[in-house]
A and B are shown apart, each in its own frame.
Chain A
Amino acid sequence: MLGRGLCLGQRPWPRVIKFFCYFLFTKSSASFLYAAIRFQVWCPKVPLYFPAALRQMSPMRTAILLFPGINRERDMAIAVRQSFGAEPKMVWHKETDLTGIDLVIIPGGFSFGDYLRCGAMAAQSPIMRAVKDHAARGGYVLGVCNGFQILTEAGLLPGALLRNASLRFLSMDAQLKVERNDTVFTAKYAKGAVFRAPLAHGDGNYTADTATLDRLEGENLVAFRYADGNRNGSARDIAGIYSPNLRILGLMPHPEDLVDPLLGGTDGKPLFDSLAAA
């Protein structure tokens, strides 16, 4: 795997469906054999008695969006793979189709170099039209760090992320308080629980007008708050917020970078386990 370019489209789902189509609509045994062989070639890791294997897979079909300058897509893929037991689909920003996807993840990084404004240019990419349609259909969206910034720039979440109050990049662990645990993102956390997640951002200072902040709090849409000091200056210690239907989550810290005891802990894993169980 190392040293290779991005692994695109390794998710076996469409192949499975294609295979079923073959099986259902062809009568000849030769065709069946052909289809079976093709399936094995496509997905050597899924044995032919695949229904059993399929049952173990997460029902959450996931796409990780790739914008130029995104750099935490590998971290995110590792976390998804670990909790979901399935390979996420990596989707280039110039694509326009998210059909069949349940969960869209926009990972961290510096899309388009953070030039102009963090997330501003990515919000205009072709794939964002599909993300908006996906959200309108009630699909799940997770935006982390630059992903959160892109979601606010795209108008899918309110507010904006300004330069950190210190005007310096912040790279350290922060403690996050779980404001509610009745969402698909946080079901595996206890309400009020505090967990650790790495920060890595220059622009994480969450800002919105007072009315918006009051509405977020009034409608219980604050997902996480900084529990051990507000390093970036965010309004009301907000680290992450939900959309009104609780299906879109944006947050600045990186739960995907703390899913392995060897890397310092698994505090971020319940978020992905929650999604896997949804």
Chain B
Amino acid sequence: MKKVDAALAKSFGLNAEEYAKVLEIMGRTPSLTELGIFSVMWSEHCSYKSSRVWLKELPTKAPWVIHGPGENAGVIDIGEGMAAIFKMESHNHPSFIEPYQGAATGVGGILRDVFTMGARPIANLNALRFGDPALPVTKRVVDGVVRGIGGYGNCVGVPTVGGEVNFHPAYNGNPLVNAMTVGIAAQDKIFLSAAAGIGNPVVYIGSKTGRDGIHGATMASTEFDASSEEKRPTVQVGDPFTEKLLIEACLELMQTDAIVAIQDMGAAGLTSSSVEMAGKGGVGIELILDDVPQRETGMTAYEMMLSESQERMLLVLKPERTEMARAIIEKWDLDYAIIGHITDTGRIVVKHKGAVEADILLAPLADAAPLYRRPIAETPKPAPLGPVHSDMKLGDALLKLIASPDLCSRRWIFDQYDSTVGGQTVKRPAQADAAIVRLEGTKRALALTTDCTPRYCVADPEAGGAQAVVEAWRNISATGATPLAITDNMNFGNPEKPEIMGQFAAAIKGMAAACTALDFPVVSGNVSLYNETEGKGILPTPAIGAVGVIEDAAKAVGLALKPDHDLIVIGASKGELGRSLWLREILGQETGAPPAIDLAAERRNGEFVRAQILSGKVAACHDVSDGGLLVAVAEMALAGDAGVDLTAPETSHAFWFGEEQARYVLSVESAQDRAALLAAAAQAGIPAVEIGRANGNGKLTHSDTVAISLPQLREAHERFFPSWFAL
């Protein structure tokens, strides 16, 4: 048995001050199991000790918010008595150590957060950031992560409908895997985790507990170095088949009145689930570990409390319903065991082989958890981009941009994800700015997207944080749906460095301003810090997952442009090239300030576009973001297999590749619709400019600067991933 002292505490991730606090709370030297419990509950991953003071700044309320942050996932009212339950969560560190299992268990974990609240998961999305594609390790990580997401999501039968991928050398040693799940429940059938009822049985269901993932939460709370490979045993192994059974078993059990409280065993496994359930309910809990279903022999209390074995849930049941619950769980071939009961002591007591292995008062474990207002250093405001010039023809620049890893087609990825299972996917990946998934048995549908532009965030974290929110809002608006709420996945470097905390604080400030201006509250989220390898941090990446609703799914529009339709740009084009992909891919520079954010214009333009779509005047719509206007038009042309004759007189790269915000490209079918739309825009004071017309001859043309056939454009757009993986 290891000796419990400050040195051991340090190896568990508790600093001297934190260990002193543990001694004070316990009034004695803690047992190994107790130290383990403190260390995981007080890890950055579980306690949000560096981020909590800032997260409070985010708006979390709106009339349609049913449960904001603090539950397993956010819950919003989507009409007809239904609720959408969703959250995004990172699995960054495990995905670098073991890409397949890291990504797979990331999907599994976020699914459990959602169905533990009573929702049937109806969609998965993922936001991925990888390192330089030129490095062999990047290819290995991309391959493993994509296979892992597919392997898990396809098997559990939840469609993977959307997401995003970026590449940047800053992620070389620290890729980001952020997985989002959206589920649907009846508003009066939402399950929470607060334990209640003294004497009620505490029930364990799901997979057996093994030694995998011990101290995973602690691993996720430190930087990486050359020894990280040795941490492979802390990566859990997923079993999507068991997860599928767990989903069906839980949903079946939830149809009964047996459940008092339910919580998945995620990070820090049995420890965090039992502590959180009892803590939230203001009760105590006693666990008898001898009764925990075990996969391996000779497991100690410490190992069982810290294991992160997957596909497990902890329930508090009504005592008179345990036999019925057992029958349902065992019908699905899952383990079921009563492993303890709720007490009135306010303590967590863990017994194993007749001995008390842990006995901790719950209130201080939660209340005295460390909370740091760490020093911050503001990111200096970037100088605006000076004059830039390229002699390249517009058409050649477009072909180069659209073939680049950040802008090329993601088909190779989403072709490996089952996007149709469930029979409700109205807009599949790349068919619209947001995925559209109908609610079975209704006309209503959800619009779903994930967004973040890290190259903006590193230049100006406040603008970048705001931009991530507005782009998500725009992507939902561009389908005709009404944006409702977001989940945020804050991926940053080491919070003990003031410049990193400065990025975090500024990103929160930008996000909060955008959320407030757009009535787009944050209802759930996750913070992933210490995303550094060998002391080098990632680009600050506040990934946003967003949910909107459209009452009639048939009114949602996609990207596909049809011949003879006219193209109109909504929003002011100013030619902002700072931090643009054009600047990076054509001139090789990552400089300047990101495009300005005008929240009032965002809201006005987005609401205008949505109203036009719902009135039936718009045939297709695409927001203008990475790569600017010409890339947006090219993507619409490819999606609809239509050529375009561009008629806007501008020939500058700044006009066609600038990334200024609050813009959309719309297509309209008839001259009548075009006139009505332009008149409405003029009346609303919204810039609307005709830029061209789709043709049936399969060519994208503009004066003497662009002449590209669709097959040529498509070859460039589709080339990167297949050729990368053909090697």
Contacts and interface: CB of A to CB of B under 8 A. Distances in A.
Name, among A5, A109, A254, A257, the residue most crowded by chain B CB atoms within 10 Å (CB to CB).
A5
Contacts of A172: 415
Contact of A71 (B147, B421, B426): B421
Given A2-B186, A68-B332, A262-B554, A109 B420 contact: no
A233 to B, nearest CB: 16
A3 B423 contact: no
A202 interface: yes
A74 B417 CA distance: 19
B425 interface: yes
B127 interface: no
A71 B157 contact: yes
B252 A6 contact: yes
Interface in B145-162: 147, 150-151, 154-157
A186 B37 CA distance: 62
A109 B185 CA distance: 23
| 9 nearest CB pairs, A to B | A71-B157, A113-B241, A75-B423, A5-B252, A3-B185, A200-B418, A110-B155, A1-B441, A257-B420
A191 to B, nearest CB: 27
A37 B415 CA distance: 52
B465 to A, nearest CB: 33
Nearest to B155: A110
B240 interface: yes
A2 B120 CA distance: 7
Interface string A1-44: 11111100000000000000000000000000000000000000
A263 interface: yes
Contacts of A1: 440-441
Interface stretch (B65-73, B243-251, B610-618): B243-251
B117 to A, nearest CB: 10
Nearest to B436: A262
Interface string B199-240: 000000000000000000000000000000000000000011
B627 interface: no
A267 to B, nearest CB: 13
Interface residues of B, number: 48
A102 interface: no
B186 A3 contact: yes
A112 B426 contact: no
B51 to A, nearest CB: 32
Nearest to B120: A3
A122 to B, nearest CB: 12
A4 B255 contact: yes
Contacts of B332: 68
A114 interface: yes
12 contacts: A2-B441, A3-B186, A3-B189, A6-B248, A71-B421, A72-B157, A110-B155, A168-B147, A168-B415, A171-B415, A257-B420, A262-B426
B154 A200 contact: yes
B241 A69 contact: yes
Contacts of B426: 262-263
A113 B157 CA distance: 11
A256 B426 CA distance: 14
Contacts of A158: none
A263 B423 contact: yes
B421 A262 contact: no
B240 A113 contact: yes
Contacts, number: 117
Interface in A234-270: 254, 256-257, 260, 262-264
Contacts of A3: 82, 118-120, 184-186, 189, 251
B422 interface: yes
B404 interface: no
Nearest to B250: A5
A29 B255 CA distance: 38
Contacts of B422: 74-75
Contacts of B423: 72, 74-75, 78-79, 256-257, 260, 263
Interface in B390-424: 414-424
B439 A2 contact: yes
A9 B299 CA distance: 44
A169 B440 contact: no
B206 to A, nearest CB: 14
A72 B155 CA distance: 11
A2 B553 CA distance: 17
Interface string B531-564: 0000000000000000000000110000000000
A264 B439 CA distance: 16
Contacts of A2: 82, 120, 184-186, 439-441
A159 interface: no
A198 interface: yes
A159 B279 CA distance: 57
B333 interface: yes
B155, B184, B186 pick with most chain A CB within 10 angstroms: B155
A216 interface: no
B707 to A, nearest CB: 29
B151 to A, nearest CB: 8
Nearest to B429: A171
B441 A68 contact: no
B438 A262 contact: yes
Contacts of B155: 69, 71, 110, 113-114
B421 A72 contact: yes
B463 to A, nearest CB: 36
A112 B244 CA distance: 10
A173 B242 CA distance: 29
Contacts of A4: 120, 251, 255
Nearest to B251: A5
A187 interface: no
A170 interface: yes
B241 A110 contact: yes
B328 to A, nearest CB: 9
A115 interface: yes
A68 B154 contact: no
Contact of B154 (A5, A79, A202, A263): A202
